[in-house]
Structures are given as C-alpha cells and as structure tokens.
Amino acid sequence: MTDAEKWHKSAIVHNYLNAIEDNATKNEVLISPLVDWLSWARKRIDDYNPLTNFGDETTQDISSKHE
C-alpha cells in the first residue's frame, strides 16, 4: 500500500471518528468510555498515517490486519 493510500484511509477513519463524536454529542451520550476510545482510536490512526508517523518502528502496520 502506498503512502498516499494510507493517508487516504486514515482521513476516512478520522472523518468517521469525528462523526461518531458529533453524533454522541448531539444525542448527549458522549460519555467517558467513548471519549477514551475515541482518543485511543485517533492515536492509532495517527500511527498509521504517513504524514503523522515518520517511521516509528514500534508502530504496527494495521493495514495487513484489517483489509
């Protein structure tokens, strides 16, 4: 997978996470466990994004696990 493809996939996931947060806020169900999960998910997708991850060897390539 190219860096451009990884960037594109990470942007899609970020948009999805934002939609989850917006929906939870709108419905007044943005509770601590969801906030924690969103934070964790955003960090993981930032690890996957080649524009925010500059070759950290501890980062696993999640594409091979989720395609």
Amino acid at 11: A
- What's the whole-number average pLDDT of the chain? 87
pLDDT confidence of residue 40: 97
| Assigned token pair, 58 | 């501890």
What mean pLDDT comes out for the span 55-67?
Answer: 50
Rounded CA-CA distance 25/23 in Å is 5
Give the count of beta carbons closer than 10 Å to the beta carbon of residue 17: 16
pLDDT at 48 over 70: yes
- Kindly report the pTM of this predicted structure: 0.75
pLDDT at 33 over 90: yes
pLDDT confidence of residue 53: 86
pLDDT at 32 over 80: yes
Residue 56 backbone phi and psi in degrees, to 5: -60, 120
Domain extent listing, the chain: 3-57
